[in-house]
Structure 1
């Protein structure tokens, strides 16, 4: 009976989820320029460095090691650029417990 009801707006993806999905999709397609933009947007949206790092590491199983490794390299460049501009990003905790 309720199959036709619209989903509430609160079930839409938030900014963190949207940027993480974009990062995953761009990693899979190998578009490094667009990935760089998405990584910056994700960090600006409040994603922790370790959240992104863990996602990129996990993606090797889904999009292949070369694309995952390229994405990690792009992420490293983004972090270096942001550090040189004086931008301090949220670190978070890694799964292994190491910062």
Structure 2
């Protein structure tokens, strides 16, 4: 049985990521279900921030961490889907340098460049 949280989360996921979101979470089984319900049904569906603002925060957090480039790429695409430009995403990445260092920013910028080339 599909829960109300899952339905709400699925709609929000599609709004943020389009078809790509479903393709990312579907193979994850129960973990994917939890992502849809919690991250998108509960968190992304809250009032207070636009989807654009939420993706700015998400990209900044992921850009400041090592080893999460696959998830960063998903959210770079999502950011573009909700209205961020390549230039804005690059600025978000540059903003992480004083707090997270050059290595993570370099990795994030490389992820952005890979997305732009696609």
TM-score (norm 1): 0.68
- Answer with 1 or 2: which has the greater Rg: 1
Q: How much has 1:27 moved relative to structure 2?
A: 1.1
Runs of 4+ in 1 over 3 A off after TM superposition: none
TM-score (norm 2): 0.58
Instruction: Output the CA distance in 2 between the equivalents of 1:74 and 1:59.
Output: 15
Mark the runs of 5 or more structure 2 residues left unpaired by the alignment: 1-46
**Root mean square deviation, CA, Å:** 1.4
| Structure with the largest fraction of helix | 2
Show the counterpart of 2:54: 18
Aligned length: 72
Q: How much has 1:57 moved relative to structure 2?
A: 1.1
**Whose RCO is larger (CA < 8 A, sep 6+)?**
1
Show the counterpart of 1:27: 63
Instruction: Output the CA distance in 2 between the equivalents of 1:48 and 1:28.
Output: 19
